[in-house]
């Protein structure tokens, strides 16, 4: 009995164990399924995690890029502000102008240190060019300020700088030597007293330039030195101040004082005589040079219409004169004819320029092609104007002279265009296109009525091609040495020729295109003509290859 109970208990226990094992297996199976699903979920989430990480890094990069862009844009803003101030010039607000120069230097340093920015080289080049212009304007401002406030010192102003005891008076002028009857010991005592006065005297230096101007000149000079323009600074100061000093000494009679007395009479008279002789020789030399320029008959041929050697020689001579203008002004003072010395020097320069122009008019007639005649005169007078504008001669000759001769340059350019291109433009006009006969024709207004002969259109296009090729061959050998003038002249021709050609081809091209060999007559597009115009005035030789 007891064994049966024990057996039943064991059976129940075994059954319970089996159920527990089954439950355990089920739980393990469920947990295994969860593990599998979790692994699959992790696998599915991994690309999302990678993308999230990439997005986070992209955001970080964008933030860095935006911060870098903000710094660069800030530099551009500062550059634009500096550029506006520099283009305005230093005259109205010098302090602001100098700040703009410093800002420009900071911009250059920034972009030099940030070469990774792909446009940094272009920005640096532009900034350097602007800085050069800014320093050039500073030079002009320095020269203008120094000239305005550099005036000869009147003797009375210098006497006012002396103490009262040392100022000259009319009473003391005759009290010298023994003429007063005083004994030598009295004179010795007076001289000793005078020397003591000199040692203890309180001298007041004269104000040569107003105190409020000195800081401005100092700042300008400092900027010029910093930019490496020491030599220009010294030259401006020397030329401006030396003439003022010489005039001040002359008013004081220092030269006469140095050679005072009978013993120096011969030296003094020789010096004055030499000065007058130099002045007379200078005037005669200028007169001879003026005549030589006007009558120069050298046969140097300028076949391409470029600047003649005589022109460059005379311009260099005039520039040389202005290197010695202070000396020349002194010499001109020997001839007191009521004119200012500046006016006399300007008059000499103008006469030389006019002599050159007269000679160039004669030399231009050596060209058989009248269009080349005007191109030659345009080149040479433009060279004169440009040289004057870039030198001190501009201040002396004045804006009127410059503007008058610029108009002459434009007149010759217009004459060249009219003479060289009038004939070929006739090929593109509608005159002569009407035909009274039948045959293939279209209306002048583009309609289908009879009126324009295909043969006449072909003949006009054939003539146009021939004339343009002749012009291209000849005028690509001509020269316009100044790049701006050259481009301006090409543009002026293109503005007349290309619209006329496009209009003609648009209206009458279909008549030719519908016939045989249209390319024989419509040989060029408007773009081809424009490209070929780009070869005009380059001074090419006949053997050089074409670019089209």
- pLDDT, tens only, 275-324: 788 778 888 888 898 999 998 887 777 889 999 999 999 998 888 887 77
**Does residue 449 have a pLDDT over 70?**
no
Q: If pLDDT is split at 50, 70 and 90, which confidence band does 463 have?
A: very high
Q: Is the pLDDT of residue 274 over 90?
A: no
Q: Determine the Cα–Cα distance for residues 545 and 280; give it in Å rounded to an integer.
A: 58
| Tens digit of each residue's pLDDT (9 = 90 or more) over 167-182 | 665 444 444 444 444 4
Beta bridge partners of 538: 479
CATH T-level assignment (fold) for domain 266-414:
Tetracycline Repressor; domain 2 (1.10.357)
Beta-sheet strands, E only, within 69-134: none
3-state secondary structure 472-526: HHHHCCCECCCHHHHHHHHHHHHHHHHHHHHHHHHHHHHHHHCCCCHHHCCCCCH
33 Ramachandran zone, left/alpha/beta (phi>0; psi -120 to 50): alpha
> 491-548 pLDDT, tens per residue?
999 999 999 999 999 999 898 888 788 888 899 999 999 999 999 999 887 655 454 4
What percent of the chain has pLDDT above 70?
Answer: 78
Q: What does the domain layout of the chain look like in residue ranges? A: 266-414, 427-533
416 against 236, higher pLDDT = 416
Using 50, 70 and 90 to split pLDDT, how confident is the model at 82?
confident
- Helix (H), strand (E) at residue 452: strand 452-453
Q: Which residue has the higher pLDDT, 208 or 28?
A: 208
Name the average pLDDT for the chain: 79
Residue spans of beta strands (DSSP E) within 401-442? 441-442
Rounded to two decimals, the pTM is 0.54
Note whether 452 and 444 are within 8 A (CB): yes
Q: What proportions of the chain, in percent to the nearest 5, are helix, strand and coil?
A: 75, 0, 25
Task: Name the token pair of 478.
Answer: 């001509």
**Cα–Cα distance measured from residue 309 to residue 324, given in angstroms and rounded to the nearest whole number:** 24
Q: What is the pLDDT of residues 192-204, one digit of tens each?
A: 555 555 556 566 7
List the one residue out of 480, 542, 421 whose CA is nearest residue 302. Answer: 480
The pLDDT, as a whole number, for residue 502 is 94
- Top-level CATH class of 427-533? mainly alpha
Name the band, by pLDDT with cuts 50, 70 and 90, for residue 166.
low
């Amino acid at each position: 009995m007891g064994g049966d109970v024990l057996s039943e208990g064991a059976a129940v226990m075994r059954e319970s164990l089996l159920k527990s094992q089954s439950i355990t297996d089920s739980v393990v199976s469920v947990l295994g399924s969860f593990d599998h699903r979790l692994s699959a979920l992790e696998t599915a989430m991994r690309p999302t995690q990678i993308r999230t990480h990439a997005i986070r890094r992209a955001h970080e990069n964008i933030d860095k890029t935006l911060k870098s862009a903000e710094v660069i844009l800030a530099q551009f803003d500062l550059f634009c502000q500096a550029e506006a101030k520099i283009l305005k010039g230093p005259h109205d607000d010098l302090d602001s102008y100098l700040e703009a120069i410093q800002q420009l230097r900071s911009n250059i340093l920034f972009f030099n240190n940030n070469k990774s920015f792909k446009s940094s080289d272009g920005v640096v080049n532009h900034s350097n060019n602007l800085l050069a212009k800014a320093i050039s304007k500073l030079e002009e401002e320095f020269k203008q300020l120094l000239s305005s406030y550099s005036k000869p010192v009147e003797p009375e102003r210098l006497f006012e700088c002396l103490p009262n005891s040392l100022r000259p008076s009319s009473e003391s002028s005759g009290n010298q030597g023994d003429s007063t009857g005083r004994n030598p010991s009295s004179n010795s005592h007076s001289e000793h007293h005078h020397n003591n006065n000199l040692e203890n005297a309180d001298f007041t230096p004269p104000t040569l330039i107003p105190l409020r101007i000195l800081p401005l000149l100092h700042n300008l000079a400092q900027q010029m030195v910093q930019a490496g323009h020491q030599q220009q600074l010294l030259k401006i100061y020397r030329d401006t101040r030396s003439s003022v000093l010489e005039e001040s000494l002359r008013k004081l009679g220092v030269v006469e004082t140095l050679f005072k007395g009978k013993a120096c009479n011969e030296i003094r008279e020789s010096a004055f005589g030499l000065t007058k002789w130099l002045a007379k020789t200078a005037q005669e030399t200028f007169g001879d040079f003026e005549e030589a320029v006007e009558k120069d008959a050298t046969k140097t041929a300028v076949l391409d219409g470029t600047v003649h050697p005589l022109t460059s020689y005379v311009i260099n001579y005039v520039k040389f004169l202005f290197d010695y203008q202070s000396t020349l002004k002194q010499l001109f003072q020997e001839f007191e004819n009521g004119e200012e010395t500046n006016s006399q020097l300007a008059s000499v320069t103008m006469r030389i320029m006019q002599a050159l122009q007269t000679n160039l008019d004669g030399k231009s007639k050596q060209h058989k092609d009248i269009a080349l005649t005007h191109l030659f005169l345009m080149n040479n007078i433009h060279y004169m104007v440009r040289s004057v504008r870039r030198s001190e001669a501009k201040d002396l000759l004045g804006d009127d002279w410059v503007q008058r001769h610029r108009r002459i340059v434009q007149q010759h350019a217009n004459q060249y265009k009219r003479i060289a291109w009038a004939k070929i433009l006739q090929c593109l006009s509608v005159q002569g296109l009407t035909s009274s006969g039948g045959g293939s024709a279209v209306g002048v207004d583009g309609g289908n009525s009879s009126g324009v002969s295909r043969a006449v259109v072909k003949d006009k296009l054939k003539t146009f091609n021939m004339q343009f090729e002749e012009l291209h061959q000849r005028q690509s050998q001509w020269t316009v040495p100044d790049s701006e003038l050259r481009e301006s002249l090409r543009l002026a021709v293109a503005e007349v020729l290309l619209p006329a050609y496009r209009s003609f081809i648009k209206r009458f091209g279909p008549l030719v295109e519908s016939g045989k060999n249209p390319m024989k007559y419509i040989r060029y597009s408007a773009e081809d003509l424009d490209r070929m115009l780009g070869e005009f005035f380059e001074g090419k030789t006949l053997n050089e290859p074409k670019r089209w």
